[in-house]
Amino acid sequence: MPNATHPTRDVLLSPSPTAVVWSGAGHPLVQIATPGVSLGAGDLLVEVELATVCGSDLHTVLGHRSADTPLVLGHEQVGRVVALGEHARASNGTPLMVGMRVIWSVAVACGDCDRCVRGLSQKCRTLAKYGHDRVRRGWELSGGFATHVQVLAGTAVIIVDDELPAAVIAPASCATATVVAALDAASGVVPLAGETVVIAGAGLLGLTACAMATDAGATVIVSDPDAMRREVALRFGAAAAVEPVALQPTLARMLEQGSREPLVAIEMSGAPSAVAALVSTVGVGGVVVLVGSVSPGELVPIDPESIVRRLVTLRGVHNYGGGQLERAAEYLEGAAGRYPFASLVGETFGLGEVEQALELAARGTHLRVAIDPRSQTRTPALQAVAHASP
């Protein structure tokens, strides 16, 4: 584990912090209590205000990828610091204090290995990940589906505004920060301002990318098979939102009307057909960023000659760096009043209802459902976006 420091502070809470543990398909979720937590230098104990169910959580419980069990799911959350180890600081260097409202990265990194030095902390040689790693002695509170999370040294921690709705900021720790990383990957090849950007998938990541790219000065075309999601994409700045079969005719019509050929294409759905479509769609000198393919799937046929002759760049993005999480939080603080991010989170469940939350999320009727560990009762969605998978 990246944090190898000796404990500097033992914390006992009453009632004891509890976490929901998943032990694999076919096994019931169980709650475990952790009366005491030993905080090392730089560690935090955070009381969770709200956690959201990410698509990655569903990939795990539905068996789409392997996972070491038992584990505490959840890696999109916001909470308040209740205890600290020595020298605990936010990513910007600010000393952390009890009561501060924070989000934190999905990855715990050493900061010293070759990958960390290269700026790839999310691929650290001794990586640990919230909501993904097996529960172990000394780090039982390791995921967001819990009353508290032990945030380890080596984690990017961002202080967030008290007034920002929890439903807006909780997904930043995965969805929003990943979008920042994706747009960084794209704009490193083709600056977004004035360009035509195609986004496949209007889930939470796709809608966030639509808003961010629009704000960066791009004309955004969103492709998604779900009519409701296409309608929502228009509220997030899309110039057009079309079903996949209509993408090519729409782009051809826009070219006839004087628009630029698309030089940026971002794949957020994970559908192999969407990957193939975007690789063939992007123009000469363009870039295709793959984000959604996070579990094993069918192989995608790609014509290498076409890529070479069109000077196309392919880039893969998985997770993000600490600076990108900070920029994600800053973006949401400014954009929450301009785009309906809060409406993307549907019903909220109590900690004893995680199984029901996962079942609802798997149905795809909301972009996100939430878990409030401080509540035991379900809160219905109010004007939440429906008919949308995570």
pLDDT in the model for residue 74: 96
Q: 151 with 87: CB under 8 angstroms? A: no
For residue 87, give Cα distances in angstroms to 9, 37, 116, 284. Answer: 12, 17, 21, 50
User: Which residue carries 């169980």 as its tokens?
Assistant: 30
Kindly give the parts of the chain with pLDDT less than 70. Answer: 1-7, 376-390
pLDDT in the model for residue 268: 97
Q: 126 with 2: CB under 8 angstroms? A: yes
pLDDT in the model for residue 67: 84
User: Which residue carries 């301009």 as its tokens?
Assistant: 338
| CA end-to-end distance (rounded Å), the chain | 30
State the Cα torsion 105-37-67-224 to the nearest 10°.
Answer: -30
Per-residue tokens: 33: 């209590």
For 99-121, letters b (16+ CB in 10 Å) and e give: ebbbbbbbbbbbeebebbeeeeb
Going through the chain in order, the beta strands assigned E by DSSP cover 7-12, 18-21, 30-33, 36-40, 44-52, 76-84, 101-108, 128-129, 148-151, 155-159, 196-200, 219-223, 240-242, 264-267, 287-290, 313-316, 345-350, 368-372
In one letter, which amino acid is 272?
P
pLDDT in the model for residue 213: 99
pLDDT in the model for residue 6: 61
**Could you give all domains of the chain from N- to C-terminal order, each with its CATH number?**
9-173+321-371 (3.90.180.10), 176-316 (3.40.50.720)
pLDDT in the model for residue 319: 96
